[in-house]
Structures are given as C-alpha cells and as structure tokens.
Amino acid sequence: MAYNACAFPKFNRTKKKLPTPLRAEVDRQVDVIRAHPMAGEQKRGDLHDVFVHKFRLARQLYLIAYLLDEASEMVTLLALGGHENFYRDLKQYLAS
C-alpha cells in the first residue's frame, strides 16, 4: 500500500520552475518514495527527522527531502534540488 503524499510550498514552487521532462521524473520519483518510503537515507544531526531520496537525470544529481509519518502513513515532501547547498538551505527553511 502506498503512503499519501503532501508537499510544502517550497517543494511546489521549485517543481513548478523545472523543465517538463524533469518535472515528469520528479513525479515518478515521488511515486517511488510513496511506495517505499524507507528507501531514502535518513539524515543525522540537525536533520535527524528528514529522509533524502537521490536520483540522477542527464548526469545531474537531484535530491528530494521528505518527512515520514508511519502512524498516519503520510510522506511530507519538503524540498527538491541539486546537491549544492541543498542541506544548508533545507536547515534554514526548517528553522524558519
């Protein structure tokens, strides 16, 4: 059974700006996360509640950060982007 997904505004804004092929790949990767939410890597330290799913498209690495609530079977999509400054920006976003 797949988990339900909801997204933070930051995730939706970033996705909206992407080219169509990348947007379609993000949708496929979100389906993978919904089907297997524990497949992502759980972070440590300041981001200990956050899971990160990584995928490549056109030799570029992209990351999707999400929270997992097993009790309500909900995946909350936090952020999407390239690796450069991803974790720094995510920490700032979650702190605000």
pLDDT digits (tens, 9 = 90+) for 32-74: 999 999 989 999 999 999 999 999 998 999 999 999 999 999 9
**Is the pLDDT confidence value at 1 over 70?**
no
Quick one: DSSP state of residue 96? Answer: -
Quick one: DSSP state of residue 46? Answer: G
**Is the pLDDT confidence value at 81 over 90?**
yes
Q: Please write down the HEC assignment for all residues of 76-92.
A: EEEEEEECCCHHHHHHH
pTM for the whole thing?
A: 0.93
Give the chain's mean pLDDT.
Answer: 94
What domains can you pick out in the chain, each with its CATH number? 4-88 (3.30.2310.20)
In the three-class reduction of DSSP (H, G, I as helix; E, B as strand; rest coil), residue 4 is classed as: strand
